[in-house]
Structure 1
């Protein structure tokens, strides 16, 4: 009986198509896209704050073989589309050993800067290695193409214009990171690798004492929901209030106020201490509405700190 070597089988799957012309595939969404209003919807619907500054749109970009700041930029790229994508306006593949640089100026309200608020910068995802700079100062680094990046940039802000720059490198299949079916030489079941910023970029102003994370864990069999709220506290013993409404928003299902157990009177402003609050909510039979595609019931939850 003839047998096939695994390497032979793999070679039969990965058949390069680099010389084949690519079809320029578009969609009605892409054709109707406005460069002035790119993915303007709120990117975090389960944790929405009123302060929201969308940074999608045209940024300066440069691709170069050195890690240092570019001497000049090559043109503009439409964020959050990767440089390999048609909608980015670049249509160039980032190679191993190359660095993709982004640059734009930030709209910063000086009134917010001096009232004690903190400015948080968010990237939905950057593929793969990213270094983030503000006014030439390194704010943070991140590895991984799928997880969001959040960083407090308040201490790096200056009066007037503030320059945000991002440096990205992506070895794709020349490296060892998870990459799905991305590959530098497309072919077979593998498609053109994508690089750089590929999800929404945005900012929000928050108080020094603020909510950091909310975890909601349902227990279907017990008809209970566990809610944990993680906070950063710069004020002594702030009250946390939670209100859960029925899906029709006509009846209060649960309302409670809590204060943290520890005394934070000696915590200095801007040097926040983490504190957690937790609640367990029991839902009575007559108000228990499981989510289904036919009846997608959602329970509105409002959490207020301070």
Structure 2
């Protein structure tokens, strides 16, 4: 009597090149899916626009930036923080999307294909990066309409947007790990937002960190989120350049790059390991 063996999933062929191709295929699949659910993209655009309008016109005249409460100054100070908040809040969507794929069994179908295991997660995060870039473009147009301006030229401004997209990409890997660690998309959405609020608000995004108590300012100045906000203000030429002695505030561009790359390396490794264990 012969033993019954379980069929094994085909082994992926090739090496890094195959992994890149597989990731792009998965990314294309997720982008097509986004176009078929346009309300997700629309709601993703509405939220940051609301933040711009509310913070600019409701709080603009009460914030002291550089010794002035001029609303126009605060609007320019604010925008780097709003941009950074927008790209990081995409984390919740990334986590929910991956949790939804796990919940519906789509990942099991991917397992039956000769494809790179990491491509499923990489493709998803790349698709989220494209959606984030579209959101940033629309948000920048709205910011220009409310009075925000670039003062250091287009090349530096493009560099600032590049740092923002890198930060957003890094944070989507945190979302991926959360999505793989929970049972439902709803839990992934909640889990993706709970930690984001202290990260974004205990920072220099909406207020000058010099106005915080010393221990809280120290946390804000070493926050990876704050480093990107500070770097963008420098590259945009916007007010609010900090006089903090903390290294990330004095070398904000380098700090932003280092933090983002470190987050990608750590959380991509953890996410791929979690994915392999979940699908083993």
TM-score under structure 2 length normalisation: 0.25
Which protein has the larger Cα radius of gyration, Structure 1 or Structure 2? 1
Q: Which structure is higher in helix share?
A: 2
TM-score under structure 1 length normalisation: 0.24
